[in-house]
């Protein structure tokens, strides 16, 4: 598929996916979501990809939010479809075996922050702001924001941010654990690529199993989650990567992983 509003670039096991609608601050409308759905499905099917960096085009916005111009005309039924599509895309990102890094290079409000929260790790440029600002417009988050934010920062802080439509800067986001790094704008993408390289250096199956264990565990009580963790860890002991990793450690050399 040829994308009009996305740029998908490959660098070995790394992909950089850029929302490319800078004239509208990369806002998400139906056309962007359809392209994003296709891109996410293609990424999920690509067995060579390990890490995806998601960012926005231009100097101002990561994803400013959902397209207010389009949303203003939606009926309740149309909004259910729009919200359902966005939520499904983000859940697909969250549960696939690729690691997603959000490089938040500019404003990320509403659906923009919700998209970033579906990523495994979030890095943010200094000098910008993020927030779930929907209630200031008479609406509410519908791409999973009321569910992910409490899981990331705790229910009390999430309630405060959602109910006040607060816009917070990189240092506050870092302090509460909403982002994992804050960088000058020029250093953000290099930092994301360095993080991606650190992840790619490790065993593919082990990273994928860890991601699945974290995701499943967030939905379960700790006893059931720990039992699932043991199951996953035991499966890894049948893999070539496990044998290579432990052998390389004993032999004092770098392992060569094949994802098998």
Domains in the chain with CATH codes: 6-200 (3.90.226.10), 204-250 (1.10.12.10)
pLDDT-based confidence at 63, cuts 50/70/90?
A: very high
pLDDT-based confidence at 1, cuts 50/70/90?
A: confident
- Indicate if the pLDDT at residue 165 is higher than 90: yes
For the segment 60-64, the average pLDDT, to the nearest whole number, is 97
| Cβ-based neighbour number of residue 101 at 10 Å | 25
Active site residues: 114, 134
pLDDT-based confidence at 220, cuts 50/70/90?
A: confident
Alpha helices, H only, the chain: 30-45, 68-71, 76-95, 111-117, 145-153, 155-164, 170-175, 185-200, 204-217, 222-236, 240-250
| Alpha carbon distance 147, 117 (integer Å) | 10
Inter-residue contact 32 to 5 (CB < 8 Å): yes
pLDDT at residue 108 in the model: 98
Q: Give pLDDT tens digits for 180-219.
A: 999 999 999 999 999 999 999 999 999 999 999 999 998 8
Q: Give pLDDT tens digits for 93-121.
A: 999 999 999 999 999 999 999 999 999 99
pLDDT at residue 219 in the model: 87
pLDDT at residue 80 in the model: 96
Identify which of 75, 193, 64 has the alpha carbon closest to the alpha carbon of residue 132. 64
Helix/strand/coil for 203: coil
Q: What is the mean pLDDT of the chain?
A: 96
């Amino acid at each position: 598929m040829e994308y009009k509003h996305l740029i998908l670039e490959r660098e070995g096991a790394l992909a950089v996916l850029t929302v490319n609608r800078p004239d509208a601050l990369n806002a998400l409308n139906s056309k962007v979501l359809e392209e994003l759905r296709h891109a996410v499905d293609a990424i999920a099917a690509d067995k060579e990809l390990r890490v995806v960096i998601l960012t926005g085009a231009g100097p101002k916005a990561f994803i400013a939010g959902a397209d207010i111009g389009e949303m203003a005309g939606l009926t309740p039924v149309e909004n259910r479809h729009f919200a359902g599509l966005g939520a499904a895309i983000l859940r697909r990102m969250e549960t696939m075996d690729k690691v997603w890094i959000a490089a938040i290079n500019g404003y990320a409000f509403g659906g923009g922050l919700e998209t970033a929260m579906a990523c495994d790790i979030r890095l943010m440029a200094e000098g910008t702001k993020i927030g779930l600002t929907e209630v200031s417009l008479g609406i509410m988050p519908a791409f999973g924001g009321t569910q992910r934010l409490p899981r990331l920062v705790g229910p009390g802080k999430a309630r405060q941010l959602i109910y006040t439509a607060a816009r917070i800067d990189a240092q506050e986001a870092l302090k509460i654990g909403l982002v994992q790094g804050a960088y000058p704008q020029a250093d953000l993408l290099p930092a994301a690529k360095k993080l991606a390289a650190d992840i790619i250096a490790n065993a593919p199956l082990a990273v994928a199993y860890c991601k699945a264990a974290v995701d499943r565990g967030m939905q379960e009580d700790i006893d059931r989650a720990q039992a699932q963790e043991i199951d996953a860890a035991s499966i890894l002991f049948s893999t070539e990567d496990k044998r290579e990793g432990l052998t390389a450690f004993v032999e004092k050399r770098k392992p060569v992983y094949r994802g098998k």
